Structure 1
């Protein structure tokens, strides 16, 4: 099922949309913001890792999806989780690690996440074009 690249990229986009909905629900139902943020961060960590592992196992080469996932993981997911754990109990707006403020990093992470989604979309479009070229005589 995930061996079909078009299906795989659509699945990845759907998965990340579901993660966004899940994160919203996490913050709605978990009152402790530190715990909610950590659970949300772990949700992003698991979903991004899943996308990257499946993409590597199927494509066996660097793709826009893999690059976007690696960038999102390195610049957003892991640093935010580190800041949260290093400043446990502090409001995230006040938390910082090595001079990087949590609030600033979180703001930037929204754009990095969009970059990840754009990477998946580019992979999808490239695969569509590749398949169209195959069909032409």
Structure 2
């Protein structure tokens, strides 16, 4: 798969994942907050922030140069994976810990796919298509 295609696919899947995950976290905040030991508004706010991030990722995929979008989202994913993994160390209960670590792993995998796409873009002859904005999401 070409770097362009892999990059756009990774960004689109990342945006869709964030939309679904953020919506679920916001909707289920009253149920999840006690298990996480965090106030309901904080959990709901995190869910809403993830939905807003999903919109930002979709916008970047459609409007920014692919390399810029991939780098930005990849760095954010690395930071998010580290933050989620660190948060999991403070959660009460094994099932909650495993669920939070699974999210960290998912986000880390998105960062990995974006790194692979960036590497493939760098190997593309001339890299001309890597500088063009991606199609609308």
TM-score normalised to structure 1 length: 0.46
- What TM-score do you get using the length of structure 2 for normalisation? 0.46
